Structure 1
Amino acid sequence: MSLGKIGHFLIAAHFWFGCYYDWNYVKIPIEIHDMGDSSFNSKKLKFLTYWDALLQSTFFTICFLNDIFGTNEKYPKSTPFFRKLKDLLLPALAFPLAMFVGVTFWGLYFIDRELIFPRSIDPYFPWWLNHLMHTNIMFFIILELFTSYRKYPSRKLGLSILTLFMVIYLIWIHILNVYTNLWVYPILNVLNFPSRIVFFAICLVLVVGMYLIGEKINAAKWGSYSSKLSLKKQ
């Protein structure tokens, strides 16, 4: 059973509100945690977390629009635009990025939170916003995966879109480093050049792994429908 119009609307609205609040009200003084804003003020767009929050907001908005103008049928006679977009966006970006952001953030947080979310910024970044950005993204995308059927794209297409997205973000944080001489994430400041290469490679492997996990879960949950669809075409 799909989350439905109300569920998708509320989830999208709560992510949009989080993005709005973070952009307009979370102001961390440079003397508390300098992220290079005095040299190149990219605001929240420096963080993959914010990119992902915007992505989740957009994805669940598309789910809501699909509930109204598209279809959630397993075997539609024709596939509306919003359904096609929904079926591509979750596998290629929304699920793997949500899981990657959540797992890496909380993993590093419990190892040494100063590497990812220093204690000094706690007074400026509300706890509820932290969970919205790093916990809810995982919970709601998993819920969507289990409650709504989708046709996964070819692995080549899905991984190509995901890899391109990650490469673009990797280029972006290096541009920020050139202009500010600072890294967006504290962990990058304690790694030397070879270690950073290994770190980035591990991150790419991890996000690809998240894609494959999503693909496996989708097949395990909805594979019977895919089999029925194949039989109907014979």
Structure 2
Amino acid sequence: MIKIIVFHLLGVLQFGFGCYYDAMYVTIPSTSRTIAFSPFGGKLKYLTYLNALLQTAYFAISLVNDIIGTNEPSPAGKPLIRRVKDVMFSSLAFPLSIFVGTTFWGIYAVDRELILPRSLDAYFPLWLNHVMHTNIVVFSVIELVTSFRMYPSRKTALSLLGSFMLCYVIWIHVIYFHTGVWVYPILSVLNWPLRVMFYLFSLGLVCGLFVIGERMNEFVWGNEIQKTVKGSKKKSH
């Protein structure tokens, strides 16, 4: 139990400090010619930053649950904070963290200028890059294998995840039509049909990552899930 508390505390401190440092100290000069850097929207225009905020909130909720809630399998009567924790991780925190990490490093490997131009190295430190794009994946996987949870129904989870992604796509278009620049350089080299395909591919990928998380959870926690389901059925009778 102590190890879980320390792990969740480390998650809060790491991602919280990353968000703070990024907001306070990572400033792109207004004279930069890099396409993605209009001040409109601030840091909240980046999915990476939004995800880091989400991870901070998730690990904070997990830490509070460690103290006043429960991490044990339970067929019924789980505290509200435990139910929020389970749904938040399953529907958003896990698939988004894996999505951000895999898409960032995938595009980076092909052509880093499309996602994090070299001109930003002087402003965006390497350690912060790894906190935002590498550690989120590592911490999410560790969280999945060390803490039991019941996944919500796919309808509930995919509705939350799809709504979040739709809102973000709308948001980046609001920014584009307001400023004339795309949040991510890769969008500037795609025409509209390819952008739509890119959005659909991204939606399919993040939903697929949810299913992968669901399957991984079943593989790791299968026995506990079966006991919880059986306990729920007995209580209902």
Q: What TM-score comes out, normalization by structure 1 length?
A: 0.95
The Cα of 1:223 is off from its aligned counterpart by 1.2
Question: What are the equivalent positions in structure 2 for 1:86-165 lying under 5 Å apart?
Answer: 86-165=85-164
Contact 1:3 1:144 in 2 (8 A): no
Aligned AA for 2:204? V
Aligned residues: 232
Aligned AA for 1:201? L
Give the secondary-structure state (helix, strand or coil) at the position aligned to 2:201.
Answer: helix
The Cα of 1:31 is off from its aligned counterpart by 2.6
How well do the aligned residues superpose, as a CA RMSD in angstroms?
A: 1.4
1:196 equivalent to 2:206? Answer: no
Once the two structures are superposed, residues 67-92 of structure 1 have per-residue CA deviations (whole angstroms, 9 ceiling, x without a partner) of 01101111265211110111100010
Give the secondary-structure state (helix, strand or coil) at the position aligned to 1:59.
Answer: helix
Contact 1:2 1:72 in 2 (8 A): no
Find the aligned partners of 1:159 and 1:199 in 2 and give their Cα distance. 19
Describe the shift of the 1:159–1:77 C-alpha distance in structure 2 as closer, same or farther (beyond 3 A).
Answer: closer
Contact 2:35 2:182 in 1 (8 A): no
The Cα of 1:26 is off from its aligned counterpart by 0.1
Contact 1:5 1:67 in 2 (8 A): yes
2:181 equivalent in structure 1: 182
- Structure 2: runs of 5 or more not aligned: none
Find the aligned partners of 2:3 and 2:99 in 1 and give their Cα distance. 23
Find the aligned partners of 2:43 and 2:150 in 1 and give their Cα distance. 33
1:173 equivalent to 2:172? Answer: yes
1:8 equivalent in structure 2: 8
The Cα of 1:7 is off from its aligned counterpart by 1.7
Once the two structures are superposed, residues 95-126 of structure 1 have per-residue CA deviations (whole angstroms, 9 ceiling, x without a partner) of 00000000000000000000000000001000
Aligned AA for 1:162? L
Aligned AA for 1:9? L
Once the two structures are superposed, residues 172-229 of structure 1 have per-residue CA deviations (whole angstroms, 9 ceiling, x without a partner) of 0000000001100000000011110111110001000110000000011111111122
Give the secondary-structure state (helix, strand or coil) at the position aligned to 1:117.
Answer: coil
Aligned AA for 1:182? V
Once the two structures are superposed, residues 132-154 of structure 1 have per-residue CA deviations (whole angstroms, 9 ceiling, x without a partner) of 00000000011000000001000
1:64 equivalent in structure 2: 63
Find the aligned partners of 1:226 and 1:27 in 2 and give their Cα distance. 46
Contact 1:105 1:116 in 2 (8 A): yes
Aligned AA for 2:193? P
Find the aligned partners of 2:36 and 2:109 in 1 and give their Cα distance. 22
Describe the shift of the 1:8–1:177 C-alpha distance in structure 2 as closer, same or farther (beyond 3 A).
Answer: same
1:228 equivalent in structure 2: 227
Contact 2:75 2:228 in 1 (8 A): no
- Structure 1: runs of 5 or more not aligned: none
Find the aligned partners of 1:126 and 1:207 in 2 and give their Cα distance. 27
1:30 equivalent to 2:30? Answer: yes
Q: What TM-score comes out, normalization by structure 2 length?
A: 0.94
Aligned AA for 2:16? W
Contact 1:102 1:134 in 2 (8 A): yes
